[in-house]
Chains A and B, each alone.
Chain A
Amino acid sequence: MSTTAADIPASSRVHYLNVNYGIKSWLLTTDHKRIALLYLASITLMFFVGGAFAVLMRIHLISPQGTLVQPETYNKLFTMHGVIMIFFFLIPSIPAVLGNFLVPMMIGARDLAFPRINLLSWYLYIIGAAISMYAILAGGVDTGWTFYTPYSTTYSNTYVIPTILGAFVAGFSSILTGLNFIVTIHKMRAPGLTWFRMPLFLWAMYATSIIMILGTPVVAITLSLVAIERVLHVGIFDPALGGDPLLFQHLFWFYSHPAVYIMILPGMGVVSEVITCFSRKRIFGYTFVAFSSLAIAVLGFLVWGHHMFVTGQSIYAGLIFSVLSFMVAIPSAIKVFNWTATLYKGSISYSAPMLYAFGFIGLFTMGGLTGLFLASLATDVHLNGTYFIVAHFHYIMVGGAVMAYLGGIHFWWPKITGRLYPDTWARFAALVIFIGFNLTFFPQFMLGYLGMPRRYAVYPDEFQVLNVMSSAGASILGVGYLIPLIYLIWSMRYGPVASANPWGAKGLEWETPSPPPTENFEETPRVTRGAYAYAGEEDAHD
């Protein structure tokens, strides 16, 4: 048997990591794989900054009177936690790291359509993050990540405009990433790679990109209007001067609701890949899963009013948004059914990525189901503004999106770094995260149901037990996140060298060496079969 490039040990092979050295070769790179790593480092840093605010909040909430910080400071903590986690961690996370790395490889291309715009996208992210960090260090912002008017335009005395500017710039980073993915997927697929032969991760990236380019510009212009009103003291959203605060909310949520689908769809794409690989089975209902991603992207734009049921919106508009919100749950449910059916009679292995995928399916489902209580007008009146909402979205964003992100990082880690991570530590960390997560956020469902409002620095004594449970869970969760940080960094130097395909997975990215050469493939692959052609299946047909 002849030696392929994949068999040559990484140390003597030229690949994208060792092809050149020096800081300029990284800061001026146009290689999508290096840009993915630049993003990986940046968003990891922002994750822990945002997490630090969460730690401070949970410590503060151990006692009902809140002894850690002043209420004004508490307002800043939850605001900055939200701004950083949403704009600087969740929205870029999977697309900017895994998407940037994998989209060209799964497509069979040498790079994305616009490599220099890809690098620009990272620099915009860094600039946006720097501006926001300045706002935080200069004194913070206390409007809530939702910047509701007229507080944000007229009454808040904090660093609103720098924060808005940071989010604005980061938004353009997001837009350019989505633009790049859309053009790449349309125009650069390898010969034979038809749409319905693509791995589902690509469908998820495509749907996410549609949301990014259609929604982000609206929030950008809306935040600009807030900044203008703040500077010029005019009355665009201030009711005292004739503006309508609800207009701000409509324009804001037009993006910010679809934004939550930007945060979850990529995770669903990861789960599809991980489930098939570790069940050794083709995904059940490929077409349904593919189209459900598009359905979520489209329907997700029609439901934003469910954030405004109790703000004075017309009840008839509320009716429309409520019905549509129920409908948007359907494609997500379709995915969960298909993943479950994929597991059935599969040959299952409980690797770390698979544990994260299981966690995702269970926790995302819980988060999604609790969303139905909120989509229903009558129950939302009682639950809106309480910890029920906080628990609902953390189940989806943390129990769902973050777990999928970690699962994806672990799944593709050998491909990205050419190293294996320590398996036992990885599975242990997944378990710790799962336990810590549930201990943190399940009590919050109960707190919300019992009436504890969100964004409050103090609370009635009767809620203390549940709050202490939640804070205890948060400490476990925090430890859980630190463990992978340590062993993943350790593995980059000391982990066992990985082969091209340590999991025996299907997909073009696994047919190149680990780590891949700069051009990804020695020659452009020709695709002749559908995705997920695992052993025991007849040729995966389209």
Chain B
Amino acid sequence: MTEMAHSATRAALRHHFDDLNQQHAAGTLGMWVFLVTEIMFFGGLFAAYAIYRSLYLTGFEAGSRLLDIKLGAINTAVLIASSLTMALAVHAAQTSSRKALIVFLILTMILGGVFLGIKYVEYHHKWETQLVPGLRFSPGTEIPQKISLAQVELFFCFYFFMTALHATHMVVGIGILAALVVMAARNRFSANYFAPVEVSGLYWHFVDIIWIFLFPLLYLIGGRY
């Protein structure tokens, strides 16, 4: 390792840790514990959603059918691709490949941006078709007569809150990746010190996993047959 890399690595060691291994282990465990809190945070919403779905299946199915399954599936693929590029970014950091690291981080950010763009398109469409609970909710003939509008509105409450919370996490994630790009450009990462990249990767994959569940639960229960 070059002299510059040595001193960069030494500078990365915080004073209260004995060595970089301990620091890395603490950082990784810290991120996993944080992700567990996120499991419980989203989990409360999933629990409420599960209960109301079991009570109001017809209304929830009707609401689900009004979501654009194509855009949902595309978004799922986009996020999965972004997880691939994130994993490759971590790989680049682990192998001291600075250029590849920056490229993959930026690709991940772009894919995240695409996801958010598609989400915006979906939200805008829901606004136009008056399917936003509380603010602008008056669906027309797209809901069959016998189905309770209140149930459909409840479905859309969950749709908007869960996807908006998820999107907020994505925005934060993109911000974190931007910070990593700056640090990588300043040559802060190497095979000896890449913990921030790895730990950010864990966060990014977690946000992907949330969507992996949101997609079937929101888009695929519509009985589209």
Contact = CB atoms under 8 A, between A and B. Distances in A.
Given A242-B151, A251-B44, A236 B157 contact: yes
A104 B35 CA distance: 24
Interface in A488-540: 524
Given A115-B16, A231-B134, A251-B47, A243 B154 contact: yes
A187 B26 contact: yes
A233 B134 contact: yes
Interface string A205-232: 0000000011111101110010010011
B44 A221 contact: yes
A235 B51 CA distance: 14
B153 interface: yes
Is the contact region of chain A dominated by helix, strand, or loop, or is it mixed? helix
A273 interface: no
B33 A109 contact: no
Interface string A153-191: 000000000000000000000010001101110111000
Interface string A234-250: 11100001111001000
B36 interface: yes
Given A217-B38, A234-B153, A109 B47 contact: no
Contacts of A215: 40
A242 B161 CA distance: 18
Contact of A220 (B36, B41, B134, B161): B41
Contact of B150 (A217, A220, A221, A235): A235
Given A215-B40, A217-B38, A247-B48, A183 B151 contact: no
Nearest to A172: B37
Nearest to B14: A115
A179 B33 CA distance: 6
Contacts of A188: 16-17, 22, 26
Given A218-B40, A221-B44, A241-B150, A213 B33 contact: yes
A519 B2 CA distance: 31
B34 A179 contact: yes
A183 B22 CA distance: 11
B45 interface: yes
B51 A218 contact: no
Is the contact region of chain B dominated by helix, strand, or loop, or is it mixed? helix
Contacts of B48: 225, 236, 247, 251
Interface in B106-164: 133-135, 148, 150-151, 153-154, 157, 161
B43 A218 contact: yes
A242 B56 contact: yes
Contacts of A109: 16
Contacts of B18: 524
B70 interface: no
A111 interface: yes
Contacts of A213: 33, 36-37, 40
A214 B43 CA distance: 11
Interface in A81-131: 104, 109-115
B53 to A, nearest CB: 12
26 contacts: A109-B16, A111-B15, A113-B30, A114-B26, A115-B16, A179-B30, A182-B33, A187-B22, A187-B25, A213-B36, A213-B40, A220-B41, A221-B41, A222-B44, A231-B134, A233-B134, A234-B133, A236-B154, A236-B157, A241-B150, A242-B154, A244-B55, A247-B48, A251-B44, A251-B47, A251-B48
Q: Which 7 A-B pairs have the closest CB atoms?
A: A232-B134, A217-B41, A111-B16, A221-B44, A217-B40, A110-B16, A187-B26
Interface of B: 15-18, 22, 25-26, 29-30, 33-34, 36-38, 40-45, 47-48, 51-52, 55-56, 133-135, 148, 150-151, 153-154, 157, 161
Given A217-B44, A234-B154, 15 more contacts: A111-B16, A115-B16, A179-B34, A179-B37, A213-B40, A221-B44, A221-B45, A225-B48, A232-B135, A234-B153, A235-B153, A236-B157, A242-B56, A242-B150, A251-B44
